Amino acid sequence: MKELWDMFLTFCRIGGLTFGGGYAMLPMLQKEVVERQGWATEEELMDYYAIGQCTPGVIAVNTATFIGYKRRGLAGAMCATAGVIFPSLVIITVIAAFIQNFADIPAVQHAFAGIRVAVCALVLGAVIKLWKSGVKNTVGVILFAAAFLATAILGLSPVWTVIAAGLVGVVRWKKEGGKK
């Protein structure tokens, strides 16, 4: 029961302190889930995040659900999911009640502009961490370039990009003899 409560509180903290969506949450997930709690390895977190991105729903919720399920089955999935959505639910309810009163204030508009810049920095930091742990050879660089081109330039759905990259990984694994 203690681990379920810890899971709820950890994901509640992540959900409450992550601004800018699922991408901005990656550095905090890495710190809390991998380094602090040891609930997943760096590779597992990247896998959960990739799968969470191409399954229906919010990346943050999907990733929390996968991690919770890995640790404690259905109860873990429910606690992690509840934890990550609880702060947003409370914050959005409060903001929705008062936003019209403050949206036109220049200080509020500038605060949001500053938050967007900070979120960009968090996303860039997450990309650098993912690059270091995920792109390890020439095939990885080529795959990265192709995935970036497909999604950022050509507008291909990330789902198809992830599926294609997974297939390339399986084909490469088979060519190398299917070991490990």
Question: pLDDT (tens digit, 9 = 90+) per residue, 24-37?
Answer: 778 888 888 899 99
Whether the Cβ atoms of residue 89 and residue 12 lie closer than 8 Å to each other: no
Looking up tokens 């991998």 gives 34
Q: Average pLDDT of 125-136? A: 83
- Residues 77 and 157 placed together within one structural domain of the fold: no
- Residues 65 and 105 placed together within one structural domain of the fold: yes
| pLDDT score at 21 | 65
- Residues 122 and 168 placed together within one structural domain of the fold: no
Q: Average pLDDT of 106-111? A: 88
Task: Provide the number of structural domains found in the chain.
Answer: 2
Domain that holds residue 113: 2-132
Mean pLDDT comparison of 15-29, 77-91, 134-148, highest-scoring range: 77-91
- Residues 145 and 62 placed together within one structural domain of the fold: no
Whether the Cβ atoms of residue 162 and residue 50 lie closer than 8 Å to each other: yes
- Residues 115 and 145 placed together within one structural domain of the fold: no
Percentage of residues in the chain with pLDDT exceeding 70?
A: 96
Sign of CA dihedral 13, 15, 20, 23: positive
- Residues 102 and 157 placed together within one structural domain of the fold: no
What confidence tier does 109 reach under pLDDT thresholds 50, 70, 90?
Answer: confident
